[in-house]
Amino acid sequence: MFLTLTTTGTPERPATDLGYLLHKHPDKAQAFSTSYGTAHVVYPEADDQRCTAALLLEVDAVALVRRGKGKGRGGAPDAALAQYVNDRPYAASSLLAVALSSVFSSAMKGTCHARPELPAEPRPLRVEVPALPARGGAELVRRLFEPLGWAVAVEPVALDSEFPEWGDSRYVRLVLESQALTVAEALRHLYVLLPVLDDAKHYWVAPDEVDKLLRAGEGWLAEHPEQKLITSRYLSRRWSLTRQAMERLELVRLAEADDSEVEEIDNAVGAETEEEQRPTPLAVQRRDAIIEALQASGATRVLDLGCGQGQLVQALLKDPQFTQITGVDVSMRALTIASRRLKLDRMGERQASRVTLFQGSLAYTDKRLKGYDAAVLSEVIEHLDLPRLPALEYAVFGAARPRTVLVTTPNVEYNVRWESLPAGHVRHGDHRFEWTREEFRAWADAVAERHGYGVRFVPVGPDDPEVGPPTQMAVFEIDQAGPKNEKEAKAA
Amino acid sequence: MTETQHSTRSEGRVLPVTDLSLVVLVGASGSGKSTFARRHFKPTEVISSDFCRGLVSDDENDQSATRDAFDVLHYIAGKRLAAGRRTVVDATSVQSDARRQLIDLARQYDVLPIAIVLDVPEEVCAERNAARTDRAEMPRRVIQRHIRELRRSIRHLEREGFRKVHILRGVEDIESATVTTERRFNDLTHLTGPFDIVGDIHGCAAELESLLGKLGYSDGVHPEGRTAVFVGDLVDRGPDSPGVLRRVMSMVKSGNALCVPGNHENKYGRYLKGRKVQHTHGLAETIEQMAGESEEFTREVREFIDGLVSHYVLDGGRLVVCHAGLPEKYHGRTSGRVRSHALYGDTTGETDEFGLPVRYPWAEDYRGRAAVVYGHTPVPAATWLNNTICLDTGAVFGGRLTALRWPERELVDVPAEQVWYEPARPLRTEAPGGQDGRPLDLNDVHGRRAVETRHQGRVAVREENAAAALEVMSRFAVDPRLLPYLPPTMAPTATSKVDGYLEHPVEAFAQYAADGVARVVCEEKHMGSRAVALVCRDAEVARERFGADGPTGSLYTRTGRPFFDDEAVTEEILGRVRTAVGEAGLWDELGTDWLLLDAELMPWSLKASGLLRSQYAAVGAASGAVFPGALGALQAAAARGVEVTDLLARQRERASNAAAFTDAYRRYCWTTEGLDGVRLAPFQILAVQGRSLTGLPHDEQLALLDRVVEHDVSGLLQTTRRLYVDTGDPESVRAGVDWWLEMTGRGGEGMVVKPVGALVRGKEGRLVQPGIKCRGREYLRIIYGPEYTRPDNLTRLRSRFLNHKRSLAIREYALGLEALDRLAEGEPLWRVHEAVFGVLALESEPVDPRL
């Protein structure tokens, strides 16, 4: 990983003053050992007109891995493959920011004993980062640096010139130019913004991270229009560390066994779930519609099948009508988050006795699901491949057989009304299908017929005269007399 | 009451006690119960209330702890009875309320409650208690009360529900008594047959005679000494119930047959005893036909029916025969509800459109190891469901009379001569979907488990691994019916000592030589993605054999995910393979209409494109972007006279390593258009109908597959290059190394070394690794990083730990073999799925992912 810092000058204000500012002599190659490898500072050019300092961090990738906790069984490091082969030796990630702060610490503080007046003087500066990981793309890079007085040039880097169809990589080549900033300011900008642009996978953590941010951001961060994003991304690395520790690596390994990206498999819970998101109006309307239907059904023992992060469970807890609320999800991660959201460990005994969360799967029958008054399948069926739907149908309507079953699913016809949704796209990456009203009704009617339920349909959200509501809900009620009762038989 | 009440003979009484029962000792404090129990039962069979009182209160005589003590006693007794172990309760049990709880417990676990009463004079009890320091304080009135209660109870014990009551009066009677263990009537585990189990006959005497003839019986006797077993419903509806009874009764009498009662015998038996029963469902016909029979015969019939035992456990516990089916927890048990289930089955309480009770599909839930063979419910054809089979194929309704040969598991049947009786409803398959084990149950896979394997004993699956597997299996995998196998992980060769190499074939050959494997095959690695293909001859076969309606097979990854989102693409590939297999003549040669292939699908970029872009190409892009600038800066500094020689040289090396990395992954990527450019290289036929082929030597395997590839005109299939090496011959080993060097030198991924004999055991009888991978030097860059070949890096990387990976590979291998054996033997889907799920769960165990 590599970056250069260039300044220009005149015989009166020579460019080589950069050597004083950085506390590094221009005619020497100097090496500094940092926690992740050796940092080198050399000057490819150094005269009165132009002086460039280059910082090169030689990451010791093997040592970096071995540093990790080697707690895996058989002495094998318990870590994901991505820890071994990655861009850290090359890209200007957070590690480079660490090196920057340790090699140029005085410069960052703006102290220079030999020439105390120098640090405060703005100079013409040019920063080049040839391989900068930029989550958020060129657009965000501009939004981050331009308000600070930089002229920004960003060029995307192609993933692989032999496979142009793969498109651009997440790296950009960044050139920043300014006449009005000091070296210290430039370094502090880089120190904060390199990790912000990095994809947050390569974190480091220290308890005083907030202090570091405040110090480095002094004088510019408070006024920055993207202050919120900068702060949350910079500090999010700390959260992601805690999350990483808590996360189960089992899914990571299964993804790797299959040469898949972890996100392809471990995606039951969105990435942004850690912070309390504001629910969309539609999610609220959906929840209200479900609760209303449950209240009307007279159910007291309720199953939330595919409970996700437990939002519905939490809402149901507020109504004493529901004496037993059971959330079931196949994702252990979702259940962990749900349990945290509900504060199950701190809940009073009486309240806690109303809630149960456990891992389950609707691809299998499950005796624990028997004996409930009602089951909710809210935005669940569309996450199953169509050929697996009969298994869910049997598990719920055939085996568990609650009196009432509520099923909600997107109405694909409504998608044309979503402004942000490109035509022909589903609403969520993991949706295996989205149904029209007619398709949903056909399925629901057939299920009801096969299992002895009656079914009616309730629109959720604004019922558009042309395309219907955004969410469709089916309310199944069990046929009290049994699937095919005697009376019917006699009538027939 | 039993004979034991009567006066004793000098040698003492013999008390028969059933081998699985709850024995309740009844007697006052000091009557000698504990001594009696110690003398006649195993110490672990006896649970005393005093002991339990001590457990919960530290004081065996603390009466305030009685309630908790009995909770513990009942709990322990329950655990023992559930496990099928006789249990003796040593407590006074003089109060009817205390006994009632024990009788309830016996009923809950469907075992016989037996009472043994020790009736001892008050003085004796008092004397004994006085001699014990801990009981010396016991007031006399307590003993008096005990004896009063005991005397009051004695007459009612049988009415209370004890199925055997032994009363011992006086010290002498107690001292001289002995206990003898009796088998349960239903326990015929010592009989091994072979058996011919015959379905519901319903008076179809002619069909019975034809079937017995077809089975090889001559006048009720089989020349090879086979035993017929009748599942009941001999009578009613059909034309000649007396004839059927006569035949069956004579065979049972002569020891050539066993018979369990059906609900129809049961009802007829009650009729014969003079009970009031409705003459419906064909009983009227039996009564009418029997009217012409002698009184003598009618009496014999009554006694025969009266003596029938509800079900039999046969053949070492591998076979259970009863009329209407029986869940595992009732096997070998004795209670009213066991008998009732055996006779009538279980119902849901609903009635169907024909007014008949809706039967609870107990067989769907059945997970027992014993095969349950039964009748009762007429079905169009006898089919196995979760190791159970219903043999009632509606002979009386014009269907067939069916028998099952055991242990051969062959079905033999004869058609009905005519419709003897109109069915109340059409015959139909009871299981929803009609397919073997269709609704898999979470209990079959969830939580911590141990899977029993033929080749490696029990393989444990940890809870957190099962949880991860559940998520992937549920959300991403193909239908379990089309997922009969997952490939095991493979261990790499021992770390090489050869300069510049982390892996080298020499170690692989040496390892097999050490394992006693003389001949190995080196198969080229294709650097695609592992693929398993289930190829059925047509959609009908997929439906019949695998219960999948629509697809003609499946094509999935090593975690069970479908390769292609588009089912049409999968079908196209399966179609091409199917055609090639057909052209090669393998369907007939292997006697199968489906086969399961282990293969590699190319290019790698087809499936791994996400990973390629986010991980591999990203590294290439970053390094490609950074080095020109960095090298330029260092060269400029050098030109200025700054001393950077070493640094520059090192960066040049790193740049070239990074370029080599990019070259390495690029070799496994190419652009595909539809199926153009897609290739499939099968390297093993895992299983075909009725057979696992995992034991077929690899040279024969590859010869078969070569023929398939040869007959593929579509260009999809590709052969696997190979070389055979003799591990004991240095010349041959050298040739193997050269072959590998040449192949990997051209950018090949490497090779897998396998014992030619495929399924091989080592010297101590343990499985040897089914394959060892030797990956090429350049290929390993994409695993260990671009710069792994630098000498200092290699030195550090050499300390890698292979044991866990090897153990994992063997465990997954054993599970995979198990899945295939279960599949081949036609075991229930849940049994196959259990092993497959185990492989997926183990794949999530922590192990160095670079191995």
Instruction: Tell me the per-residue pLDDT of B10-32, one tens digit each, with 9 for 90 and over.
Output: 578 999 999 999 999 999 999 99
Q: Give the confidence band of A445 by pLDDT, cuts at 50, 70, 90.
A: very high
Residue that has been written with the tokens 């009486």 in this structure: A350
- C-alpha B284/C-alpha B291 separation (Å) is 11
Question: What's the mean pLDDT in B843-847?
Answer: 87
Q: Give the confidence band of B460 by pLDDT, cuts at 50, 70, 90.
A: very high
- Best residue in A252, A365, A370, A451 to probe B by mutation, most B CBs within 10 Å? A365
Contact B394, B378 (CB under 8 A): yes
Task: Note the CATH number of domain A2-246.
Answer: 3.30.1610.20
* Phi-psi group of B674: left, alpha or beta (phi > 0 → left; psi -120 to 50 → alpha; rest → beta): left
- Looking at the predicted structure, is the pLDDT value of residue B467 above 70? yes
Question: What's the mean pLDDT in A251-264?
Answer: 78
Q: Give the burial class of A313: count Cβ atoms within 10 A of its Cβ; 0-12 exposed, 13-18 middle, 19 or more buried.
A: buried
A267 and B CB contact within 8 Å: no
Tell how strand A50-59 and strand A37-46 pair up. antiparallel
Question: What's the mean pLDDT in B230-258?
Answer: 95
A257/B843 touch (CB, cutoff 8 Å), yes or no:
yes
A87/B632 touch (CB, cutoff 8 Å), yes or no:
no
Q: Point out the least confidently predicted range of A194-198, A460-464, B177-181, B511-515.
A: A194-198
B622/A52 touch (CB, cutoff 8 Å), yes or no:
no
Q: Give the confidence band of B56 by pLDDT, cuts at 50, 70, 90.
A: very high
Instruction: Tell me the per-residue pLDDT of A306-358, one tens digit each, with 9 for 90 and over.
Output: 999 899 999 999 999 999 999 999 998 889 889 988 988 888 888 889 999 99
Instruction: Please give the pLDDT value at position B427.
Output: 65
Instruction: Please give the pLDDT value at position A70.
Output: 40
A487 and B CB contact within 8 Å: no
- Looking at the predicted structure, is the pLDDT value of residue B733 above 70? yes
- C-alpha B260/C-alpha B349 separation (Å) is 25
Question: What's the mean pLDDT in A251-258?
Answer: 79
- C-alpha B102/C-alpha B88 separation (Å) is 11
* Phi-psi group of A119: left, alpha or beta (phi > 0 → left; psi -120 to 50 → alpha; rest → beta): alpha
- Looking at the predicted structure, is the pLDDT value of residue A205 above 60? no
Instruction: Please give the pLDDT value at position A164.
Output: 87
B460 and A CB contact within 8 Å: no
Chain B environment of A80 (Cβ under 8 Å):
849
- Binding-face residues of A in 143-162 toward B, CB within 8 A: 157-160, 162
Six-digit token pair at B6? Answer: 């009567």
- C-alpha B808/C-alpha A366 separation (Å) is 30
> First-to-last CA distance in chain B?
73
CA atoms within 13 A on the CB side of B337: 12
Question: What's the mean pLDDT in B492-515?
Answer: 93
Contact B109, B82 (CB under 8 A): yes
- C-alpha A263/C-alpha A271 separation (Å) is 9
Tell how strand B772-775 and strand B750-755 pair up. antiparallel
How far does the CA of residue A386 sit from the closest CA of chain B (Å)?
10
Chain A environment of B633 (Cβ under 8 Å):
2, 4, 42, 44, 52, 54, 56
ipTM of the complex: 0.83
A84 and B CB contact within 8 Å: yes
Question: What's the mean pLDDT in B373-377?
Answer: 93
Tell how strand B388-390 and strand B371-374 pair up. parallel
Instruction: Please give the pLDDT value at position B746.
Output: 86
Q: Give the confidence band of B480 by pLDDT, cuts at 50, 70, 90.
A: very high
Q: Give the confidence band of B437 by pLDDT, cuts at 50, 70, 90.
A: very low
Instruction: Please give the pLDDT value at position A245.
Output: 42
Question: What's the mean pLDDT in B361-378?
Answer: 88
Instruction: Please give the pLDDT value at position A267.
Output: 75
Q: What is the DSSP string of B77-111?
A: HHHHHHTT--EEEES---SHHHHHHHHHHHHHTT-
Instruction: Please give the pLDDT value at position B42.
Output: 95
B355 and A CB contact within 8 Å: yes
Question: What's the mean pLDDT in A387-415?
Answer: 92
A77 and B CB contact within 8 Å: yes
- C-alpha B395/C-alpha B402 separation (Å) is 8
Chain A environment of B464 (Cβ under 8 Å):
248, 250
* Sheet-wide strand order for B679-688: B553-556, B529-536, B594-602, B679-688, B691-692
Instruction: Please give the pLDDT value at position A86.
Output: 78
Instruction: Please give the pLDDT value at position A85.
Output: 77
Q: Point out the least confidently predicted range of A203-207, B494-498, B692-696.
A: A203-207
Instruction: Please give the pLDDT value at position A491.
Output: 35
> First-to-last CA distance in chain A?
81
Angle in degrees, 0-180, between the axes of helices B829-843 and B803-824, rounded to the nearest 10: 170
B849/A256 touch (CB, cutoff 8 Å), yes or no:
yes
* Among A149, A143, A146, A152, CA closest to A226: A143
Contact A187, A103 (CB under 8 A): no
Residue type, B764: E
Residue that has been written with the tokens 């082969």 in this structure: A85
- Looking at the predicted structure, is the pLDDT value of residue A379 above 80? yes
Q: Does B358 or B838 have the greater pLDDT score?
A: B838
Tally of residues, chain A: 492
* Among A52, A165, A35, CA closest to A88: A35
B804 vs A44, A74, A79: nearest CB: A74
How far does the CA of residue A465 sit from the closest CA of chain B (Å)?
34
Instruction: Please give the pLDDT value at position A79.
Output: 52
- C-alpha B575/C-alpha B537 separation (Å) is 9
A388 and B CB contact within 8 Å: yes
Would you say domain A281-491 falls under CATH 3.40.50.1100? no
Residue that has been written with the tokens 């080229």 in this structure: B524
User: What percent of chain B clears pLDDT 90, i.e. is strictly above it?
Assistant: 70
A340 and B CB contact within 8 Å: no
Q: Is the bond preceding residue A281 a cis peptide, omega within 30 degrees?
A: no
- Best residue in A42, A262, A267 to probe B by mutation, most B CBs within 10 Å? A42
- C-alpha A487/C-alpha A376 separation (Å) is 30
pTM of the model: 0.80
B432 and A CB contact within 8 Å: yes
- C-alpha B392/C-alpha B416 separation (Å) is 12
Instruction: Please give the pLDDT value at position A423.
Output: 73
B131 and A CB contact within 8 Å: no
Instruction: Tell me the per-residue pLDDT of B139-186, one tens digit each, with 9 for 90 and over.
Output: 889 999 999 999 998 889 999 999 999 999 999 999 999 999 999 999
Question: What's the mean pLDDT in B427-434?
Answer: 46
Contact B411, B298 (CB under 8 A): no
Q: What is the mean pLDDT of chain B?
A: 90
A40 and B CB contact within 8 Å: yes
Chain A environment of B352 (Cβ under 8 Å):
484, 489
Instruction: Please give the pLDDT value at position A83.
Output: 64
A364/B442 touch (CB, cutoff 8 Å), yes or no:
yes
Instruction: Tell me the per-residue pLDDT of B709-719, one tens digit each, with 9 for 90 and over.
Output: 999 999 999 99
Contact A348, A324 (CB under 8 A): no
Q: Point out the least confidently predicted range of A259-263, B380-384, B436-440, B659-663.
A: B436-440
Instruction: Please give the pLDDT value at position A272.
Output: 47
Cβ–Cβ contacts within 10 Å for residue B619, how many? 26
Contact B553, B563 (CB under 8 A): no
Pairs across A and B, CB distance < 8 A: 307
Chain A environment of B467 (Cβ under 8 Å):
248, 250, 332, 359
Q: Does B484 or A81 have the greater pLDDT score?
A: B484
Spell out the domain ranges in chain A. 2-246, 281-491
Q: What is the mean pLDDT of chain A?
A: 84
- C-alpha A415/C-alpha B372 separation (Å) is 54
Question: What's the mean pLDDT in B66-90?
Answer: 96
Question: What's the mean pLDDT in B720-729?
Answer: 95
User: What percent of chain A clears pLDDT 70, i.e. is strictly above it?
Assistant: 86
Instruction: Please give the pLDDT value at position A387.
Output: 87
A361/B442 touch (CB, cutoff 8 Å), yes or no:
yes
Instruction: Please give the pLDDT value at position A312.
Output: 94
- b/e sequence B204-236, b meaning 16+ C-beta within 10 Å: bbbbbbbbbeebebeebbbeeebbbbbbbbbbb
- C-alpha B566/C-alpha A387 separation (Å) is 12
Instruction: Please give the pLDDT value at position A483.
Output: 46
Instruction: Tell me the per-residue pLDDT of A268-288, one tens digit each, with 9 for 90 and over.
Output: 776 444 344 455 788 889 999
Question: What's the mean pLDDT in B3-9?
Answer: 46
Instruction: Tell me the per-residue pLDDT of B764-793, one tens digit each, with 9 for 90 and over.
Output: 888 999 999 999 998 998 888 888 888 888
Tally of residues, chain B: 851
